Structure 1
Amino acid sequence: MAQVLEFKLPDLGEGLTEAEIVRWLVEVGDVVAIDQPVVEVETAKAMVEVPCPYGGVVTARFGEEGAELPVGAPLLTVAVGAAEGSSGSAPSPSPSSSSGSGTESSGGSGNVLVGYGTGAPAARRRRIRPDRLDRAVAEAPVSVAPVVAAPVAEVLVAEAPVHEGPVPVVSPLVRRLARQHDIDLRRLAGSGPDGLILRADVDRAIRTVEETAAAAQVQAPVAAVVAAPNGVAAASDAERIPLRGVRGAVADKLSRSRTEIPDATCWVDADATELMAVRAAMNAATGPSAGPKVSVLALLARICTAALARFPELNATVDTAAREIVRLPGVHLGFAAQTERGLVVPVVRDAHTRNAESIGAEIARLTELARTGKLSPAQLTGGTFTLNNYGVFGVDGSTPIINHPEAAMLGVGRIMPKPWVHQGELAVRQVVQLSLTFDHRVCDGGTAGGFLRYVADCVEQPAVLLRTL
């Protein structure tokens, strides 16, 4: 006999509480194997594929592409057992429990971390004939409601009959969603079996209410043109872009940084001619001792780790609750990377133990993962200091915003030929502007200035760095 098990969005870790459905990888009626990826979701930190802990037949999916789901919300239901046998596929392990949790049934893998399966090969997608699917679902125990995909009736919030007595709702999460949006469940016509109210019904009701309110606003005379605070007229049909996913996470972090951290910025121009010459010599080396090419960013990163060894005050964070400065033992160096999904900050772990070549290789690896949207949450968190090379955008300087909860960020402008007094004479040199934004609670200007001056000295005279190698 088949059992219909409900797979919920697992805890993604790193403090993440929700995810957006980017792309479904399976359809209703498909046969899935244990740990086969079934949906691609985007969190505030990464885009990942979610593996299903059950093997069986997909009987329903919850949420359309683009919808946001909280952790614990249903993703899909899977008929386990007889449904596979009826289609001639290999039998999957029989669950010992009919619970809908992805971690309570012995029929699943028990994996809850996104992207970490047991290595079982993904099965070839097959579709179960509708008559067999219906029969398998009909025979399933009722421990988990066998919700099958079906055309959803239009939800008429205003005209639907009022339910008497308890309202049948598929899960407490759906009930809470309705409560958060002031949706009266008694007036909803459920599209599930026996009038069961599904999340899709509540989502549709929410959209109906929002569209009605928007239409009323457009029809109102005052909605044609609204005077903005700066006196500029703003059209009522102005585009609204939701702050969610990576951009929403960045917005929250930047706002928190500016709210909590009393930051200050100091900057200096440096002659990078010698640094560029050293890099050219490194990359021109041939023979067995020649390694991979070294980037300017890798050299600057190595300079930062040397500077932090001299000025550990800046490799810190502030515990506001305890009113304590926490100096961190190791340097986990973040670097800003612009991607199609927005600004992300991958982290080079234990950068203080690496040389320029090792740091460069790790930066290249993480940059490629960022470009393809495959960075994991762990690779985007835990930084202690950030390096921001905004010179790639063709700008000379900036005042970086600290990557909360870190204590400082070094910004690097473009390196370009400029007039410069060199050895008492005017010459054309490769000049760069360096900016340090720091948390004034962890140190005073003398420490910040000393750090920045040391970085500039290493840029101008790379031999200075040899003392710390």
Structure 2
Amino acid sequence: MAQVLEFKLPDLGEGLTEAEIVRWLVSVGDVVAVDQPVVEVETAKAMVEVPCPYGGVVTARYGEEGTELPVGAPLLTVAVGASAPAGESTPAAAAPAPDPVADSAPTRPPAQDPAPSREGASGNVLVGYGTGAPVARRRRVRPPVNGARTAPSAVRDGGAAGAPGPVPGPVAVVSPLVRRLAREHGLDLRTLTGSGRDGLILRCDVERAIREGVPASGAQGATAATASTVGTASTVATAPTPAGTPTAATASTTRSGATRVPLRGVRGAVAEKLTRSRHEIPDATCWVDADATELLAARAAMNAAGGPKISLIALFARICTAALARHPELNSTVDTAAREIVLLPEVHLGFAAQTDRGLVVPVVRDAHTCSAESLSAEFARLTEAGRSGALTPRELTGGTFTLNNYGVFGVDGSTPIINHPEAAMLGIGRIAAKPWVHQGELAVRQVVQLSLTFDHRVCDGGTAGGFLRYVADCVEQPAVLLRAL
């Protein structure tokens, strides 16, 4: 006899209390395997595919795409042990007949017994969530053989829904956006070679395959073949609406013609954090112009010596960690309840990155222990993950100090807003050729404006000025940094 189990939205970590349903990966009546992704949700931190710890037949879904659900709310119910035996001719016996309104209300109360006989459960634990007692081996429920639905495992690996044949093994893809892009253009990810670390398939790999006209797989291949394959995904006729563009599901138009876009997901999280920063932190900003000619020359010499290339942001990060060692007050947070300043022993360095989904701040953990070379590699990895939507909640939280390189937008200066609950942020403007007095003579030099916004509760202007002056000295004379090594 089938046992109906309820799968609730798990705690996705870092204090997240809700998530928005972006796309359902299964329908009512589908057969799902243990730990198969069943829904794609967007939290305030990242896009996540949520696996179901039960194997069986989906009997109900709760919430339409675009709906926000709190942690602990029901996602779906699964009838465990409802698969049809081999040779049975009636696939309808595999599961109860789906109710027409099953997507909005349960057909019957789910079983509440937390642990006793969940043989179809994996026992795997998400963040703050488990399925009860673990089992010795994982039992995968196979689809009924005579005309029953096919479990959509091919969909999550980039193939078309209902594509014949089993998936031979896992595909080196971690980004739901990459999977979606491949699926919408009918690409079989198993035919692609990833350019990322350990063969990881990145968004650029899928876009290149689209441009080169890699043969599509499944039913969607015919549709994709008729679309233009020139340019990136946003130029293809079957591509989704770019992130940030108001759609019918995310925006509403008033009678006067104004468009209202909900503050959700990443944009909503950024809005809340910036508002809280302005309300709670009495900030102040100081800035200085620095001659970056010698720093650029030092970077060129490093990269000319061979080996991995070192980015400019990595050099600024290395300078910042050295400056924070001299001025630890700026690597702190304020405990308002205890009225204490908490000096933090590790430097977890955040950096602002602009993506299609909005502004994100990935965090390089233990940056004070990293070399310029390792910092370059980590910045590159996190930036690519941010653009593909593959950043995890852990990679987006826990920062103690933030770098904001707004110079990439071609602007000279800015007054950054502190990333709450941190105590300071360093802003870096563009490096541009300007007239500068060098060794007593007027010369054309590469000049950058640096700005430091700091929490005036943790230090005064003397400390902030000392920090910023040390950073500027290292920029103008990179040899100064050697004293801190």
1:69-119 per-position Cα deviation (integer Å, ceiling 9, x unaligned): 111111111111033546889xxxxxxx94276999453123342699999
Alpha-carbon RMSD: 3.1
2-structure distance, mates of 1:128, 1:22: 32
Partner of 2:263: 243
Answering whether residue 299 of structure 2 is matched by residue 299 of structure 1, we say no
Partner of 2:456: 440
Partner of 1:74: 74
Partner of 1:108: 121
Partner of 1:60: 60
Tell me if the contact between 1:395 and 1:414 (Cα under 8 Å) persists in the aligned partners: yes
Letter in 1 for 2:286: C
Answering whether residue 425 of structure 2 is matched by residue 403 of structure 1, we say no
* 1:125 Cα deviation from its structure 2 partner: 7.5
Letter in 2 for 1:4: V
2-structure distance, mates of 1:460, 1:115: 48
* 1:424 Cα deviation from its structure 2 partner: 0.9
Partner of 2:156: none
- 1:104 to 1:366, Cα distance in 2 relative to 1, 3 A: farther
1-structure distance, mates of 2:81, 2:72: 24
Letter in 1 for 2:479: A
- 1:433 to 1:18, Cα distance in 2 relative to 1, 3 A: same
What's the % identity of the aligned pairs? Answer: 80
* 1:6 Cα deviation from its structure 2 partner: 1.4
1:244-294 per-position Cα deviation (integer Å, ceiling 9, x unaligned): 1111010000000000000000000000000000111111113xxxx2100
Which of 323, 336, 347 is the matching residue for 1:331?
347
1-structure distance, mates of 2:129, 2:382: 19
Partner of 2:409: 393
1:162-214 per-position Cα deviation (integer Å, ceiling 9, x unaligned): xxxxxxxxxxxxxxxxxxxxxxxxxxxxxxxxxxxxxxxxxxxxxxxxxxxx9
Tell me if the contact between 1:7 and 1:101 (Cα under 8 Å) persists in the aligned partners: no
- 1:310 to 1:240, Cα distance in 2 relative to 1, 3 A: same
Unpaired segments of 5 or more residues in structure 1?
90-96, 132-213, 219-235
Max radius of gyration: which structure? 1
Partner SS for 1:322: coil
Report runs of 4+ in structure 1 exceeding 3 Å deviation.
84-89, 100-107, 114-131
Answering whether residue 282 of structure 2 is matched by residue 269 of structure 1, we say no
1:99-156 per-position Cα deviation (integer Å, ceiling 9, x unaligned): 276999453123342699999799888798679xxxxxxxxxxxxxxxxxxxxxxxxx
* 1:29 Cα deviation from its structure 2 partner: 2.2
2-structure distance, mates of 1:426, 1:321: 53
Tell me if the contact between 2:294 and 2:478 (Cα under 8 Å) persists in the aligned partners: yes
Which of 349, 354, 373 is the matching residue for 2:370?
354
Partner SS for 1:386: strand
1:315-349 per-position Cα deviation (integer Å, ceiling 9, x unaligned): 00000011000000110000111111111111101
Partner of 2:239: none
2-structure distance, mates of 1:368, 1:128: 44
Which of 394, 416, 424 is the matching residue for 1:378?
394
Letter in 1 for 2:484: T
2-structure distance, mates of 1:265, 1:26: 51
Tell me if the contact between 1:7 and 1:102 (Cα under 8 Å) persists in the aligned partners: no
Which of 452, 467, 470 is the matching residue for 1:451?
467
Partner of 1:284: 304
Which of 269, 273, 277 is the matching residue for 1:257?
277
2-structure distance, mates of 1:363, 1:122: 39
Tell me if the contact between 1:400 and 1:437 (Cα under 8 Å) persists in the aligned partners: yes
Partner SS for 1:4: strand
Partner SS for 1:82: coil
Partner of 1:5: 5
- 1:439 to 1:127, Cα distance in 2 relative to 1, 3 A: farther
2-structure distance, mates of 1:84, 1:303: 64
Partner of 1:363: 379
Letter in 1 for 2:64: E
Partner of 1:146: none
- TM value normalised by structure 2: 0.69
Unpaired segments of 5 or more residues in structure 2?
92-109, 150-251
Letter in 2 for 1:32: V
Which of 337, 345, 357 is the matching residue for 1:321?
337
2-structure distance, mates of 1:380, 1:103: 37
- TM value normalised by structure 1: 0.71
- 1:293 to 1:245, Cα distance in 2 relative to 1, 3 A: same
- 1:74 to 1:317, Cα distance in 2 relative to 1, 3 A: same
